[in-house]
Structure 1
Amino acid sequence: MDVNEINACDQDSFVKLFSNVFEHHPEAAEYVYDKRPFSDRSHLLKMFFHYMETLPLEVKKQVLINHPMLGSKKPMTNESKNEQTSAGLNQLTNSEEEVMDVYNKRYYEKFGFPYIICVKENSKDRILSDIKKRYENDMETEISTGINEVSKIAMYRILDIVK
């Protein structure tokens, strides 16, 4: 779709289309809908990023919690499934699955939300290495890093929708 088609969407269509820009958080699409008309795709992106910037800390944490654990076999949104498949996370070896599982659990226990990284910008090996390093961070750093990664994910999701 182009930005003119996006501007012409009714609220229900717009929210449905952008409901998973931030995983399981359609409130972002509801907020951004009211910012129409968008002059271009960049303007649309800025409105989603602005939404994220204005959220209180507790809501940002909930946005992080909404994401699935990487390499998980549990059901997830089509967007997450496609992203994880593109990084090869659906084809982990047994030893890679073990490492991912151990660090996912440790990370979640420490921070209260899953480890999040924009898989479209990383390889499976990089992800497996990064989760170990980020586990050593403090809570403030990880919330900030997680939100930054969520914003990258959102950007790619929007770019997949709007041409």
Structure 2
Amino acid sequence: MKTTMSDSRIALNELNGMEEERFVRLLGAVFEHSPWVASAAFARRPFENLAELHEAMMGAVLSSSDDTVLQFLCAHPELAGREMQEGKLTENSSLEQARAGLDALAPEEFRCLNSLNAEYRARHGFPFIACVRHYTKEGIFYELSRRLDRSTAEERRTALEQIAAISRIRLEALVRDE
């Protein structure tokens, strides 16, 4: 990968050589409110490339107990939910939801999304999770409506796939693959 002098991302080889505390401080926000993922991946260093780092991080999640995975899923905010309204989203989530237009919903859109979020959480036991960078605002509404009636097991798999996409994008913004 070619980089420029203004590339502020950390080089993978530097990441491989750092202490755990700094490693976790730098990568802890890649997974929403879950720095334990970075801590678990730390033991698998050195990483040959960004894909291997991401695989180690996702592996930490996927090898966790069902209860831990449920807690992990529940650490994610609802789209345009309470955390957004109270200004308590993480920096990553705030930027991602704003890019999708979820910070500027019309009152009817906001009520509809809140209703769909509540229905989804009541049915599946965790918030609706989507890599909002892959959707338009309309696509998010469609996807949430479409996924409401699926089985919880299927939604759990889909939520983890969406988290994999989100975390890959976040990692690429932080780490240079060199």
Q: Give the TM-score normalised by structure 1.
A: 0.95
- The answer to whether 1:36 aligns with 2:36 is no
Residue identity over aligned pairs, in percent, reads 28
In the alignment, structure 1 segments of 5+ residues that lack a partner are none
Quick one: which of 97, 118, 123 aligns to 1:84?
Answer: 97
Give CA deviations for 1:52-104 in whole Å, capped at 9, x if unaligned. 22122221111110000001213111111111111111111111111101101
Structure-1 separation of matches of 2:132 and 2:97: 6
Find the counterpart in structure 2 of residue 54 from structure 1: 63
Query: How far did 1:35 drift?
Result: 1.0
* Aligned residue-pair number: 163
Paired position in structure 1 for 2:28: 19
1:3-152 mapped onto 2 (5 Å cutoff): 3-72=12-81, 73-74=85-86, 75-152=88-165
User: Retained in 2: the 8 A contact 1:60–1:147?
Assistant: no
With structure 2 as the length reference, what TM-score do the two structures score?
0.87
Take 1:113 and 1:128, find their aligned partners in 2: how far apart are those partners? 17
CA contact (8 A) 1:49 1:151 kept: yes
Query: What per-residue deviation string (whole Å, max 9, x for no partner) do you get for residues 28-58 of structure 1?
Result: 1111111111112122112112222212222
Structure 2, unaligned runs of 5 or more: 1-9
Structure index of larger Rg: 2
- Quote how far apart the aligned CAs of 1:110 are: 1.4
